[in-house]
Chain A
């Protein structure tokens, strides 16, 4: 039984196959519209996440399947004290595959160990969110044509941002990628990520101001810097504009650079950037549906049946 708990559960070859399938889905969606007829996806969301849940549900519906599930712990048997292990054993009798979002880290792994159906981690606390990483990888590959040879700037809260950590861990498996880590010093990436970069001889630099490095970037991955993450108000006020992307900063960037963001955005990307052809964060949402469709097909073993 194959599950997806971490982006690194997939080898580079498996990942490439998945992204190829996602691309084919994006080109020929009709070809896939009945592949999951009669199949059911259970969305077990112990904490609300409208965007991710709807993306999974849209993916299954696009494949001809149907969905069932719950969208908060209050409306599940967890509120009566049922364990994750028991819940998944029960759900295994109702559905063919499930996506689980849980506030506790490792909950999807516990579920996978007792499950009779494939489990997809749809986010477990601050730990992993592999389908966001797959979405990011597909977006970069579709926009640039490959996952090799580019400079990526990761900007904002790099300390607590799990999407950033997962993306770095996945991208180091590709050739000639340079990382520019743009954050206030309070929110730099954790030491263990720096260790990973060093051990893999990956070129990286850490800077404080986005505009200083804007011209070097092929991809800019924005995340939100929250006021409460700063130790004091003065630092926040001094630096908050370093991490807000606006037209003037976009003017410093290459013509073929692309801006990604895991969303939801608050104010870190000015709405005036939305119309710039390099703003790719809404395309990223669409790729997220395709890559989840490809993942569902792969985990159900239906990916080879369509060719």
Chain B
């Protein structure tokens, strides 16, 4: 295994589906952080075959866990203190997300009024269906 330096204080986003780390990097705005961020792609995983991992030096408030939960709620968040895993956090699907995805319905009011937030609401947790708050169009991943 490639050694990427030990994290003393921070958190690790583990069990990211292989290939999705850059998308998460961009969606969480990690490019705007000043702290140390490491992306590991295609790491070996017993459970997944291969996976991506992101290590971030700093507090959990640096990222929006709702956005992360929306992208993939199977990701594990390991909080690291003094070089050890202090807590494992499970993600859930957020009830509502704002300005993460855009409504693609050309008939939606958001298509003509630029200042409106793009808000999606979880309408079916089992089927993981999000619908636009305004026009109720289903979001297709």
B107: shortest Cβ distance to chain A, in Å? 5
Closest to B110 in A: A106
- In B73-126, the 8 Å CB interface with A consists of 105, 107-113, 115-116
Tell whether A302 is near chain B: CB-to-CB under 8 Å: no
Tell whether A103 is near chain B: CB-to-CB under 8 Å: yes
**If the complex has contacts A105-B134, A127-B135, A127-B136, are A110 and B109 also in contact, measured as CB distance less than 8 A?**
yes
CB neighbours (8 Å) of B107 from chain A are: 103-105, 125-127
- Sort chain A's interface into a size bin: 10 to 19
CB neighbours (8 Å) of A110 from chain B are: 109, 113, 116, 134
**If the complex has contacts A110-B134, A125-B135, are A104 and B115 also in contact, measured as CB distance less than 8 A?**
no
Tell whether A83 is near chain B: CB-to-CB under 8 Å: yes
- Report how far A294 CA is from B75 CA in the complex, Å: 52
- Report how far A110 CA is from B134 CA in the complex, Å: 8
Is B115 in contact with A106, judged by CB distance below 8 angstroms?
A: no
Contact residues of A: prevailing secondary structure: mixed
Contact residues of B: prevailing secondary structure: loop
Tell whether A107 is near chain B: CB-to-CB under 8 Å: yes
Residue-wise interface mask of A (77-118) relative to B, using a CB-CB cutoff of 8 A (1 in contact, 0 not):
000000111000000000000000011111101100000000
Residue-wise interface mask of A (122-140) relative to B, using a CB-CB cutoff of 8 A (1 in contact, 0 not):
0011110000000000000
- Report how far A106 CA is from B120 CA in the complex, Å: 13
Tell whether B41 is near chain A: CB-to-CB under 8 Å: no
Is A83 in contact with B115, judged by CB distance below 8 angstroms?
A: yes
Tell whether B54 is near chain A: CB-to-CB under 8 Å: no
Tell whether B133 is near chain A: CB-to-CB under 8 Å: yes
A47: shortest Cβ distance to chain B, in Å? 12
Residue-wise interface mask of A (27-54) relative to B, using a CB-CB cutoff of 8 A (1 in contact, 0 not):
0000000000000000000000000000
CB neighbours (8 Å) of A104 from chain B are: 107-109, 111-112
Tell whether B132 is near chain A: CB-to-CB under 8 Å: yes
Residues of chain A whose beta carbon lies under 8 Å from any beta carbon of chain B = 83-85, 102-107, 109-110, 124-127, 192
19 contacts between A and B (CB under 8 A): A83-B115, A84-B113, A85-B113, A104-B111, A105-B136, A105-B137, A106-B109, A106-B110, A106-B135, A107-B109, A109-B133, A110-B109, A110-B113, A124-B109, A125-B107, A125-B135, A127-B107, A127-B136, A192-B138
18 additional contacts (CB under 8 A) given A85-B115, A125-B135, A127-B107: A84-B109, A84-B113, A102-B109, A104-B107, A104-B108, A105-B109, A106-B109, A106-B110, A106-B132, A106-B133, A106-B135, A109-B109, A109-B134, A110-B113, A110-B116, A110-B134, A125-B107, A126-B107
